[in-house]
Amino acid sequence: MEFTRFNRTTRFLDPRADWKETTINSEIRLDPLTGFSGRIAHFGSIARPVVDLDALSRASLERGCPFCPEVIEQVTPQFPRNIAPNGRFRRGEALVFPNLSPYDAHSAVAVVTHAHLVPTSAFTIDHWVDALAASIAYFSAVHRAEHHIGYGLIAGNYMPMAGASLLHPHLQIYATERPGNWLQAQIEASTRYYDAHHHLFWEDLLSEERRLQERYLGATGSVEWLVPFVPLSFIGDIEALFPDRFSILDLTEDDLRAFATGLQHVLQFMADQHLYSFNVGFYPGQSVADRLWVHARISFRGMINPTLHSPDVSAIRQLYDEPFTTLYPEALARDLKPYFAKI
């Protein structure tokens, strides 16, 4: 297990320091599984202004919201009866129905809450358990009908800065034969690692992160938490590992509750840090043959320049497909670890 990093130093004459020579450090890191690179730079330069969530909510409701309880039954579609005898999947406040703009043949939306506006600290464990369980019930129904689901993907965009077109909390879920470039690269690399070492990369990663204690956060039940060595977000990522779970259908009720418990700690940290927006995504294999544990990422989102509403995806990320982050993962882990110590 290698955590490869390349330190870089830039020197220039700084007008802010009476033209004295100044040095700035940055770092290039290689993901220990795929070898993909990421950069750590622009330290501490990102503002986190207070967001008026109530004003944002009012603006989002001007044209109405199809996910609010008053209209959701009338304006959202239903599944064919061989998928859902009652047309949709329900659990608690969660409702799963077909996506009007599908990503694949089997594509759905999971509305998480009745409430239209839910600050990060206001989500409950049951909100997430119910939404995820209803999503997996949908995948199970697809599997019964088709005898195969491929990859059952669950992803979420929370708040506009994360790409949400609607403010109301919801997840995108779809079954596909094409898992996307990043997950495909992880599967291929996990298989190569297993063929070379005769044991799973994910077991070795967890063992090494526990030993180093630099990025490891702790466990909530069956789920292990850490900060990835190479984040995808410019603020930072959190990763949840589901040991010995290989398909989305392998996840149990206890697994979902363990994940939701850890997610609560992450969301409370976000609230305390004035972070309002995030993406969440699950990365499953099809079966144990993919040599990949199911895992999930929570990726913090924001604006590079809030005054100009500058998005956090610039040319480096968009056109060179190389993430950069403004905070060392080890520093983020130090800040987050006390939240997991409250377990």
| The pLDDT of residue 48 | 75
Q: What residues does each domain of the chain span?
A: 64-341
Structure tokens, 118: 């839910």
Residue whose C-alpha is closest to residue 240's, from 282, 183, 185: 282
Specify the fold of 64-341: HIT family, subunit A (3.30.428)
| The pLDDT of residue 47 | 65
Residues in the chain predicted with pLDDT less than 70, given as ranges, are 43-47, 343
- The pLDDT tens digits of the residues spanning 233-246 come to 999 999 999 999 99
CB 158 within 8 A of CB 279: yes
Q: What is the pTM (predicted TM-score) of this model?
A: 0.95
d(CA 84, CA 80): 6
| The pLDDT of residue 46 | 64
Q: Identify any residues that bridge with 237 across adjacent strands, giving them in sequence order.
A: 299
Q: Please count the other Cβ atoms lying within 10 Å of the Cβ belonging to residue 26.
A: 15
| The pLDDT of residue 63 | 86
| The pLDDT of residue 191 | 98
| The pLDDT of residue 232 | 96
| The pLDDT of residue 44 | 58
| The pLDDT of residue 89 | 98
Helix (H) or strand (E) holding 140: helix 125-146
- The pLDDT tens digits of the residues spanning 290-332 come to 999 999 999 999 888 777 778 888 899 999 999 999 999 999 9
| The pLDDT of residue 306 | 75
